[in-house]
Amino acid sequence: MADLQEIIAEPPGIGEVLDVAGLFTRAAPIEMEIGCGKGGFLLRRAREHPQRNYFAIEWASKYYTYAADRFRRWGLDNVRLMRTDARHLMTHQFPNAVLSVLHVYHPDPWPKKRHHKRRLFNAEFVDAAVGALIPGARWAVQTDHAEYAEIIQGLLLNHPQLEPMEFDDPEFGTTDERTETNFEVKYLRQGRHIYRLAVRKRR
């Protein structure tokens, strides 16, 4: 059974590149979730696929702490969790060609125009994330914010190394266009529309 010291991963130091594979005790395909919240989606993935490794980032301290303890209580030794700025990590300190899947569900839309610069998705981030994917890797995104969804769609579908694919795929944790993240459940109860997109890195 994993303890918190094994589950929690420290951010790399200034100028260092994160050794993602080295966070785990065995070599296996790595799935990453940016913004795991309370960890519900990743918890299900890690339990259903113990032969895979799962790496998550969560900035909000209360969610990070909750998710880490949740992974510990379930005794998951194939999950690592880091509290850091995801955009900075991906664009400046992340290795190339290490991820088999990338999940980004309900990133903060920062709806006020003066806050748009804080958004996760921009051209630099997308280029870096594409670089982190292995050929054929899947990247799934969903948001409840229409304007942000349009921007994300434009960035991903116009990227020369990405091609669209079906969002629904139980192998990757989506069935009937549902991921069952905490935010998705909350927003659907509120009657909000969810915008979904999945792409694949060209081989």
Residues designated catalytic: 108
Distance CA 49, CA 75 (A): 14
Number of H helices, E strands in the chain: 7, 7
For strand 195-201 and strand 162-165, is the pairing parallel, antiparallel, or unpaired? Answer: antiparallel
Residues in the chain: 203
Burial of 99 (0-12, 13-18, 19+ CB in 10 A): buried
**Strand 195-201 to strand 79-82: parallel, antiparallel, or no bridges (unpaired)?**
unpaired
Q: How far is CA 25 from CA 7, 38, 50, 70, 80, in A?
A: 11, 24, 13, 20, 11
Paired tokens of 90? 């991906």
Distances (CA, A) of 44 to 54, 93, 164, 170: 11, 28, 25, 12
